[in-house]
Amino acid sequence: MEAAHLLRWVALIAVMASISRCGEPDQTQHSGHAREMNHSSTLTEVNTIDAPLVVNCTIPVCDGPLKDIYCIGPILTSSWQFGLQKSCPGAKIKGTPQTVLENFHNLTYPITRESFTSFCDENFENVKYLEKVKFDDWKENPELIGKIPDLRRRKLALEAHRRWNLLGRRFSPEVVANGSQYPVTPVPNPFIVPGGDFDIYFYWDSYWVIEGLLVSNMTATVRGIISNFAQLVDTHGFIPNSGKLQLSARSQPPMFTQMLYEYFIATGDANFTRSILPSVEKELQFWEKNRQFSVMKDGAAFNVFQYKTTSNCPRPENFLVDYWQGVNSTRKPEDVWSSTTSACESGWDFSSRWFDLNGTNAYSKKSIHTNSIVPVDLNTFMTWNYRAVAILYKKLNETDKSADFRKKFNDLSATLEKFFWDEQEVRSTCKSQKIRIISGIWLDFDIELNAPRRSFYPANLFPLLVLKATGDVIKRVGEYLEKNSVFTMPGGIPSTLPVNSTEQWDFPNVWAPTLHLFVISLLSTRDAYLVQKAKETADKFTSNVYQGMFEPPEGAKSGIWEKYDARKADGSHGGGGEYPVQEGFAWTNGAVLHLIMMFDQPAQFGFTRRQQFGLESGDSGPDEGKSGMLGAFPNNAVIIGLLAFCFCLSILFVVVSNHHLRRVLERRRERNERAEQDQMDRLLRDMDSDED
Ligand SMILES: *[C@@H]1O[C@H](CO)[C@@H](O)[C@H](O)[C@H]1NC(C)=O
Ligand SMILES: *[C@@H]1O[C@H](CO)[C@@H](O)[C@H](O)[C@H]1NC(C)=O
Ligand SMILES: *[C@@H]1O[C@H](CO)[C@@H](O)[C@H](O)[C@H]1NC(C)=O
Ligand SMILES: *[C@@H]1O[C@H](CO)[C@@H](O)[C@H](O)[C@H]1NC(C)=O
Ligand SMILES: *[C@@H]1O[C@H](CO)[C@@H](O)[C@H](O)[C@H]1NC(C)=O
Ligand SMILES: *[C@@H]1O[C@H](CO)[C@@H](O)[C@H](O)[C@H]1NC(C)=O
Ligand SMILES: *[C@@H]1O[C@H](CO)[C@@H](O)[C@H](O)[C@H]1NC(C)=O
Ligand SMILES: *[C@@H]1O[C@H](CO)[C@@H](O)[C@H](O)[C@H]1NC(C)=O
Ligand SMILES: *[C@@H]1O[C@H](CO)[C@@H](O)[C@H](O)[C@H]1NC(C)=O
Ligand SMILES: *[C@@H]1O[C@H](CO)[C@@H](O)[C@H](O)[C@H]1NC(C)=O
């Protein structure tokens, strides 16, 4: 079995994806990396500026006293026009914001490169915000990682574990004390940075970081990171994209609730969980108040969530590029700029997922209109969050709160089913009666075109995380995946199928977070075929990351990458987008640790753990949700009745799934794939065992 297993490892490769972050990496202030982007003619550097560049927008990407220095205004535009944006404005202002602005206004037009350079030297300093951290709860050889039977996986897991100490940071005491001079939002506890030039905390990355830290048994570090986010919600109103001021007015996919949920499952720590839940609720309220809209579809109104930032100005981190993009667009510049930061908020920055799919600007960033798209993943995340909060409150014996969130969960689940499931009605040509063609998947919806966007994205599968998939749905999902040939790619599941785009969230790039959620989505169905595909996909990716780290392609650097190439199994990293590929890489490390453990040790890290904890029953859909609400029911008889019913159902489920499984396993045996099969056998036995 080991030999076959090894062979497969050698043959397969993986993918990963990275951090959706807009703009170039954080090199302006922290590192000397040169940006490798070629500017078109209108972006050519100048030597004198005759008049300030007028940008016709009203709401910059940040607020506060440093806004006119770092986020909008002539210091920023001049710096870009001179081509000095990598060094100016610098990491820290000297004096107060008022004196810096006054000093700039005292320069007289035309402004020369020399006078601007002296202004920069006199008004800014380059300092580091962060200090390296060695974590007290990091142990050299964690027991669980040492138990991983497969040598390659164990080696990769240890490497990912080792890297926590390379990526640990905290804000320096000086930044915390004199925060108003730095364009950052400090947090009190140490955290993990993504790596490469991304040298500050990021929001959604931290979910995969936490999954990995829990494998590393670093629960104190996890508590610190969660507390940081809780503090940000309490002081800032929501969790910003990252700690950089320039990224502070937009959020990122709302994964805070899931961070707490995973922590609770791993530790059972009720007190800490209780102390954080008010911040979790506050964050969800932010999304409800600012990102939820009523949208019409087929004559009915639905309350859906969108990534939709309020700022409507170019991003400082790519100012002139955005400026021309907006000015040259056929759409209103402010709409382009707003949709650009909304795409950053989605984490998929950038992707043809937010562009036209037909017409002259198809697959081009010129057509970006994120603000008109209703994304299936965000609505899934909110549903998932409602369920997690309902379960956590139930565990804490707060039944009223639990019921409130259960209701939100049920409502949004219904929307997921009705609004996003693609069901196309087509009139038969021979008869006049209507026949229904169900595409068989959940899709993003374009409000402008009043039509679903029928492209493959891994996110199309995410509703499986929260909806109870019936046999018919499971069958169609399987067909959808086969039809789109997504399992044929050796390196993992790409962000899109091949399209005419070089954005980093398009083909061929595979990113860790989407791959990880794709795998969990398939696992959630408990369907033998999809579970097997989930395992194969996880193996491909893990193997790909292994190759890139320990046996990179000839002539390539070794590393754990931000994103991988779906077309290759040799560890090749991905590319495209606005900045060179980054190495490090926190969410890849975290996702790989969790993917390995989920399958190797399901009792601790797979679905089994959740069930043992009594959090989720065999089904993870709305029905499970209702049974999870028992505490709120007034009548004991009802409870007992329901329990009996659930018990019978689960017996039935075990019988049916055992039967189903046996058939699948027999077929596999016939094909003489013993190694694979033994492993599947173990996995499924583990999954079944706690449904007894
Ligand atoms: C950028 O432009 C320079 C000079 O025009 C050229 O030599 C170089 O190959 C270009 N780089 C890329 C990545 O296109
Ligand atoms: C600025 O934007 C407003 C609102 O979109 C528009 O009416 C106006 O024409 C724009 N001005 C310039 C100079 O582009
Ligand atoms: C800017 O110029 C004004 C008048 O020329 C002067 O009063 C002021 O002190 C100058 N400010 C700074 C910060 O140099
Ligand atoms: C804060 O800034 C002031 C003035 O620049 C300096 O004197 C002080 O030492 C700084 N505080 C810390 C903790 O570094
Ligand atoms: C995790 O760490 C705690 C100490 O923080 C220790 O008591 C426990 O045994 C560790 N668990 C494992 C599985 O190593
Ligand atoms: C949790 O909090 C309660 C009440 O504050 C306290 O009595 C209990 O000891 C705490 N439990 C733990 C494990 O810290
Ligand atoms: C914007 O459009 C102008 C004229 O239509 C063109 O010359 C210029 O190259 C374009 N700039 C960019 C950055 O696309
Ligand atoms: C794309 O196709 C849709 C419907 O097929 C149409 O309504 C829309 O106008 C087209 N968009 C472009 C930019 O051609
Ligand atoms: C909730 O109530 C049950 C039954 O009264 C009790 O066993 C359990 O410890 C309580 N949980 C918490 C977190 O207080
Ligand atoms: C791809 O895009 C480029 C420029 O964006 C365009 O010139 C080319 O025709 C496109 N190719 C296809 C096959 O659409």
- Domain assignment present for residue 614? The answer is yes
- Residue by residue, DSSP assigns 233-258 as HHHHSS--SBSBGGGTT---S--HHH
How confident is the model over 365-384, as pLDDT tens digits?
999 999 999 999 999 999 99
- The residue whose CB lies within 8 Å of the most ligand 2 atoms, and thus the one to mutate among 53, 54, 55, 56, is 56
- Count how many Cα atoms sit within 13 Å of the Cα of residue 669 in the half-sphere of its side chain: 8
**CA angle, 452 as apex, 446 and 457 as ends, to 5°?**
100
Beta carbons within 10 angstroms of residue 350's beta carbon: 25
Pocket of ligand 9 (CB under 6 A): 270, 396-397
Check if 482 has its Cβ closer than 6 Å to any atom of ligand 3: no
103 lines ligand 3 (CB under 6 A): yes
- pLDDT at position 603 is 82
Q: How confident is the model at residue 122 (pLDDT cuts 50, 70, 90)?
A: very high
Domain boundary residue, one of 107, 130, 153: 130
Domain boundary among 71, 100, 130: 130
Question: Per the domain annotation, does 52 fall within a domain?
Answer: yes
High-pLDDT (> 90) share of the chain, %: 75
> % helix / strand / coil in the chain, to the nearest 5?
55, 10, 40
Residue 201 is assigned to a structural domain of this protein: no
Q: What is the pLDDT of residues 124-136, one digit of tens each?
A: 999 999 999 999 9
Q: Whose CA is nearest to atom 4 of ligand 1?
A: 38
Of the candidates 283, 562, 565, 616, the residue annotated as catalytic is 562
Q: Which of 24, 334, 349, 570 is catalytic?
A: 349
The C-alpha atoms of residue 74 and residue 564 are separated, in whole angstroms, by 39
Residues 151, 156, 157, 159, Cα dihedral to 10°: 130
Residue 641: per-residue pLDDT:
52
Q: How does pLDDT run across 477-531, given as a tens digit for each residue? A: 999 999 999 999 999 999 999 999 999 999 999 999 999 999 999 999 999 999 9
Give the mean model confidence (pLDDT) for residues 34-53: 67
The domain boundary residue, chosen from 110, 130, 150: 130
Say whether pLDDT at 16 is over 80: no
At residue 339, does pLDDT exceed 50?
A: yes
Total structural domains in the chain?
A: 2
pLDDT digit string, tens, across residues 602-636: 888 887 777 667 666 433 433 333 322 222 223 34
Average pLDDT, the chain: 86
pLDDT digit string, tens, across residues 383-433: 999 999 999 999 999 999 999 999 999 999 999 999 999 966 665 555 556
Q: What is the pLDDT of residue 647?
A: 58
Worst-scoring range by mean pLDDT, 115-124, 338-347, 423-432? 423-432
- What's the pLDDT at 437? 61
Q: What pLDDT does 12 receive? A: 30
33-42, 324-333, 538-547, range with the lowest pLDDT? 33-42
Which of the two residues, 18 and 62, has the higher pLDDT score? Answer: 62
Find out whether 561 and 585 touch, Cβ atoms under 8 Å: yes
CA-nearest residue, atom 5 of ligand 7: 328
**Residue 637 domain flag:** yes
Distance CA 403, CA 574 (A): 44
Q: For residue 41, how far is its CA from the centre of ligand 7 (angstroms)?
A: 8
The alpha carbon of 56 and the centre of ligand 2 are apart by a number of angstroms equal to 6
Task: Indicate whether residue 328 lines ligand 7 (CB < 6 A).
Answer: yes
pLDDT tens figures, 629-688: 222 223 344 445 555 555 556 656 555 555 665 565 455 545 544 554 455 555 555 554
Confidence at residue 409, expressed as pLDDT on a 0 to 100 scale: 97
- Residue with the bigger pLDDT between 12 and 301: it is 301
pLDDT at residue 604, as a whole number: 82
Q: Whose CA is nearest to atom 4 of ligand 7?
A: 328
CB count, 10 Å around CB of 447?
17
Residue closest via CA to ligand 2's atom 6 equals 56
Instruction: Name the pLDDT band for 578 (thresholds 50, 70, 90).
Output: confident
Answer yes or no: 349 catalytic.
yes
The verdict on residue 635 lying in a domain is yes
Q: Is residue 81 part of a domain?
A: yes
Report CA(326)–ligand 7 centroid distance (Å): 10
* pLDDT of res. 644: 56
pTM for the model: 0.85
Ligand 7 within 6 A of CB of 41: yes
Nearest alpha carbon, ligand 9 atom 2: 397
- For the segment 70-107, what is each residue's pLDDT rounded down to a tens digit? 999 999 999 999 999 999 999 999 999 999 999 999 99
Q: Does the Cβ of 367 fall within 6 Å of ligand 8?
A: no
Decide if 67 is inside a domain. yes
Centre of ligand 10 to C-alpha 115, Å, is: 43
pLDDT of residue 21: 54
Q: Closest Cα partner for 28 from 93, 85, 100, 113?
A: 85
Residues of the domain holding 621: 607-689
The answer to whether residue 525 sits within a structural domain is: no
Average pLDDT over residues 229-237: 97
Considering every ligand atom shown, identify the ligand nearest to the alpha carbon of residue 53 and give its number.
2
> Residue 140 pLDDT > 90, yes or no?
yes
Structure confidence by residue, pLDDT tens digits, 356-365: 999 999 999 9
